[in-house]
Structure 1
Amino acid sequence: MADSPLWKVDFHMHSRYSHDSSTKLEDLAAAARRLGLDRIALTDHNTAEGSLLLHEQEPELVIAGEEVKTTEGEVIGLFITRGLKSWQRPEAVMDEIHELGGLVYIPHPFDRWRANFAPHRLVALADRVDVIEGYNQWADPGANQAATEIARELGKPVGFGSDAHSIAELGHSWLEVEPFEGPADLLLKLGRATGHRTEVSGTQRRA
């Protein structure tokens, strides 16, 4: 593995299975390859239908995921095998993700424009959290900085996600990480990953 090229991975994006995106699954996969992404996590809002379908079609490209609303902030499950229950307490959602063998990924935790977690709640939930998104291209720079800082304080790896809702938004932020096989291997290697972006976050705020 040491001689293998690093993979470009985007951990957060949406398709037409989200209420606020019209991106077709086949277009998303084609665009990801065109942009040189080696793995993408499809994380539609409150449904895993599209991600499970695309993972079945493109198992070497797609990580099945879902971005689910809890009674507090939003939580992403990565490497899931079925849909998650929404509007539960975050502890219940996180436990469900782990029961499915997945990883708990916290997106845009401090973005004031979206459902988020209070810092003390992230600390309290730390034992259930695997990855904290330190860069989201739609979050304000201050929110991203705060997310990165709390990830480091809690000893959690930092994730990068484009949070793309269209093809044009894809490929603007990603992690470069050693090739991995499954969630446990990814978690081991995320600590050595490096984040990349093409622009300053929050400069093209989504409505």
Structure 2
Amino acid sequence: MPGLIGTYDKGGRVMLPRGVYGPQEDTLLLRDALEQETVGPGTAVLDVGTGSGFLALAAARRGARVTAVDRTRRAVLTTRVNAVLAGLSVEAVRGDLLAPAVGRRFHLILSNPPYVPAPDAGRDGRLIIDRLCDGAADLLRPGGALLLVHSALCGVPATLDMLERAGLPAGVTYRRSVPFGPVLASRRQWLLDRGLIAPGDDKEELVIIRAERAA
């Protein structure tokens, strides 16, 4: 499977075949949030929408037992190869969002889901986010946490409200203003037409939302 090798600060090297989401500003922000969590041997971690496996590997480096899920075969294979290259153990499985983990419980769930509004994939960017908010509580152990990254464009208050209703009190733990990434930049005109961004905007605010199940 041909691909490029990307090197990232504190993240080692990962293979990035064409069509697999590689680490960008949102991934790195989530990695920074992960570093603040208590993770070690015996910690069960679920990485939803793993892409290249970058976050899964970051957790595995700290000794966690990591399950990484993605809906594409290419991403799953990439994660497995990157784990082998890094000498780490990661269970990478293909499936629809949380479905492969139903019946299991985790100390920590990580997700960098698709969140940029799009005409054919959730016009408000919440198509995947809402499903994560609805289903995460059933997969968390008491005291377990969900770390979710997304853009302020798709409604931070809505995410906090959904998690609260699901029994996962949540708050914003990180905010970072970053230049438009390639996905958002490719949809600039559509976002302008809908009034989601203003002419001349070239940055978006990313947030990390941390939700915790009661112990």
Instruction: Name the TM-score class by shorter chain.
Output: 0.3 to 0.5
Instruction: Indicate the structure with greater strand content.
Output: 2
Higher relative contact order structure (alpha carbons within 8 Å, sequence separation ≥ 6): 1
* CA radius of gyration, larger in: 2
> What TM-score does the superposition give when structure 1 sets the normalisation length?
0.38
